[in-house]
Structure 1
């Protein structure tokens, strides 16, 4: 961790407190395929890579300095099954301006240094990396989740589990996203929050349960 940065707070939140470890969702087989969107300095990436030594972990991070730190973490941990991809995920292909703000670097807001980076969709990324099935999709991307998830509808059947931090923006709320995911075959649970919180989703809901309206959030 670097001094005078947000690194310690990042590690404390995502690794020591481990908010994603709910109902065994992050307990994966050794050969799991994980995509970590908004990997920051690689804290969650390294943690999940240790539990999936025969699998594949892809760290998605747009900030160049954070990508450098993930590469350092790979060397320190001796992981050769971690791939770092410097890109932003969103709802379309193009380029975006990233505003640096430590652990809260964002395409949408911020007053720090600005760098231009490629933006792609989750579906295109999976195709480019020859990923057919995702055991776990983790997102912590400062509001970009509202573009990433809806634009990924065609590849959602290939995603088994989702854990994410959400940020309430405009019409998008966790309740709306939960309903949207349930209609596409997921069981969903989320924490209350006026500004942000956590959401978990597991693939496998039967169409009959969706149709008759009997689906309740799992007891996460």
Structure 2
């Protein structure tokens, strides 16, 4: 009798899980929403219901990629010392990372930088719509000094500042001027997490921050290797090592046969997610 009872219970439990997977309306609504977004052309602004509040986006492909990485895979998860972590979001785009952190820790002190005027307006709207008007939003790019640089808008998540180190040489005629600011001056207090996804400016910024990263507990940097620029990943890794970080690297563009296969994506032949953290 006991064996029969356990089997019945197991079958009932399995059936409940199966029905929950099949019938769950939230799951199906998200699947339908993903399908709807995939049907959009690139760089077409719209609003999505994938988060718990309406969220504006500027490009569905980049949004879906970021949503999966941030909200499903939780690439930016970390363990803060308390419920009020201090976070810097460098290259906030429409704000998905900022929203992720604020939903986990509503009292988090988040400063978000985004230089693209059109994208910044969407970032600001999303933070207010989700009930986070306390996020410190700064409409500037990050660089090694304060001032103004030319900016190549992308209409998605790959807009980038330009100077002699970062110019692509493609002769774009849609550049605009944006204000830039030194990151180093924002590192004068403890930072639980520093995120840098700044489309090629990361080497310049981190070299300028050398000696100022002792206040940072966790650091994420997306390293961009553009085909027509010098590779500087060694400089990035040296700065992180000399600042006392342990490093974990996840490659995003992986060639099966690197000696004969030359990958290219948005002008890049390689891209790395670099996670830097302190020993516990």
Higher relative contact order (CA 8 A, sep 6+): 1
Structure 1 gap segments, 5+ residues each: 206-220
Distance 1:96 1:140 in 2: 18
Query: Which of residues 184, 209, 217 in structure 2 aligns to 1:160?
Result: 217
Shift of 1:91: 1.3
State how many pairs are aligned: 199
Distance 2:205 2:73 in 1: 19
TM-score (norm 2): 0.64
Q: Is 1:178 equivalent to 2:237 in the alignment?
A: yes
- Is contact 1:137-1:162 (8 Å) kept? yes
Shift of 1:113: 3.1
> What is the root-mean-square deviation in Å for CA atoms of aligned residues?
2.6
Select the structure of larger CA radius of gyration. Answer: 2
Shift of 1:171: 3.8
Q: Is the deviation greater in 191-200 or in 32-41?
A: 191-200
Change (3 A) 1:65 1:183: same
- Is contact 1:94-1:119 (8 Å) kept? yes
Within 5 Å, which residues of 2 pair with 1:9-158?
9-18=61-70, 21=74, 25-28=77-80, 29-102=82-155, 103-108=157-162, 109=168, 111=172, 113-124=174-185, 126=186, 132-158=189-215
Distance 2:112 2:246 in 1: 25
- Is contact 2:203-2:235 (8 Å) kept? no
Q: Is the deviation greater in 11-20 or in 147-156?
A: 11-20
Change (3 A) 1:156 1:53: same
Query: Which of residues 249, 252, 262 in structure 2 aligns to 1:190?
Result: 249
Distance 1:203 1:162 in 2: 9
Distance 1:166 1:86 in 2: 22
Distance 1:181 1:203 in 2: 10
Q: Is the deviation greater in 38-47 or in 6-15?
A: 6-15
TM-score (norm 1): 0.80
Distance 2:272 2:148 in 1: 28
Change (3 A) 1:20 1:167: farther
Structure 2 gap segments, 5+ residues each: 1-43, 48-56, 163-167, 254-268
Listed one character per residue, the Cα deviations across residues 131-161 of structure 1 (whole Å, up to 9, x for unaligned) are 6111101111110001111101232001111
Shift of 1:11: 2.5
Q: Is 1:7 equivalent to 2:59 in the alignment?
A: yes
